[in-house]
A and B are shown apart, each in its own frame.
Chain A
Amino acid sequence: DAGVIQSPRHEVTEMGQEVTLRCKPISGHNSLFWYRQTMMRGLELLIYFNNNVPIDDSGMPEDRFSAKMPNASFSTLKIQPSEPRDSAVYFCASSRGGQGSTDTQYFGPGTRLTVL
């Protein structure tokens, strides 16, 4: 299996631009998670989906952030408009279980976002 795939690996953009991050979970996994990692705050869960349905989006920082999962093999995280404080590494992870699952989560390589 190829593991969790994220694209792009690196993104540099200017303040005010729209940014779209993409994730392909491991085939057969039912849960998908978006995390953000910064030096100051560490790893934080932004949103999690189960069977393509958003279950917990309490970590989404503000309305500028949105996430979708149109099917079991694809998810996007969009920031519009982007701000310098959004600069971070964004990780996608997936796991087998159903809603509320505590199965092992498998992480992608991350997207390093820099907003100038």
Chain B
Amino acid sequence: KQEVTQIPAALSVPEGENLVLNCSFTDSAIYNLQWFRQDPGKGLTSLLLIQSSQREQTSGRLNASLDKSSGRSTLYIAASQPGDSATYLCAVHGSSNTGKLIFGQGTTLQVKP
């Protein structure tokens, strides 16, 4: 059974700092991995999707990497801003290819001005 873990559960950094969020999964036979952002009281917004054949994806100040063999992904945020404060969730499409996303518990990020 696929399990997704995110560490740390919470993170507080000063504005301008570069930071890394971690995601690990137990079954390396995934189809893709997605990173989402969730603001308080809101739905999820997809940030990046990495296909299983890819090693990384970039969007603006965000860079996500994927290492299937070790069951790990990282989300790198450069030059963090207070507007980046949110909960970041990673999710994998599991090996059964049913369209089902399995989510981690998320990392809640606070960027202090």
Chain A contacts to B: CB under 8 angstroms: 4, 31, 33, 42-45, 48, 50, 55-56, 91, 93, 95, 97, 99-102, 104-110, 112
Docked complex: B28-53 residues within 8 A CB-CB of A: 31-32, 34, 36, 41-46, 49
Q: How many residues of B contact A (CB 8 A)?
A: 24
Docked complex: B65-113 residues within 8 A CB-CB of A: 89, 91, 93, 97-106
Which residues from chain B contact A100 at a C-beta distance below 8 Å? 97-99
Which residues from chain B contact A31 at a C-beta distance below 8 Å? 99
B43 in contact with A108 (CB, 8 Å):
yes
In-complex Cβ contact of B103 among A4, A42, A56, A104 (8 A): A42
Question: Secondary structure of the A side of the interface?
Answer: strand
User: Taking CB as reference atom, which chain B residue is nearest A100?
Assistant: B97
Which residues from chain B contact A56 at a C-beta distance below 8 Å? 98-100
For the complex, what is the distance from the CA of A102 to the CA of B32, rounded to whole Å? 7
Question: Secondary structure of the B side of the interface?
Answer: strand
Which residues from chain B contact A91 at a C-beta distance below 8 Å? 43-44
Min CB–CB distance A29 → chain B (angstroms): 12
B45 in contact with A43 (CB, 8 Å):
no
Which residues from chain B contact A95 at a C-beta distance below 8 Å? 99
User: Taking CB as reference atom, which chain B residue is nearest A108?
Assistant: B43
A50 in contact with B99 (CB, 8 Å):
yes
B44, B89, B91, B106 — which one has the most chain A CB atoms within 10 A of its CB? B44
B99 in contact with A102 (CB, 8 Å):
yes
For the complex, what is the distance from the CA of A112 to the CA of B91, rounded to whole Å? 22
Which residues from chain A contact B44 at a C-beta distance below 8 Å? 91, 93, 107
For the complex, what is the distance from the CA of A108 to the CA of B99, rounded to whole Å? 17
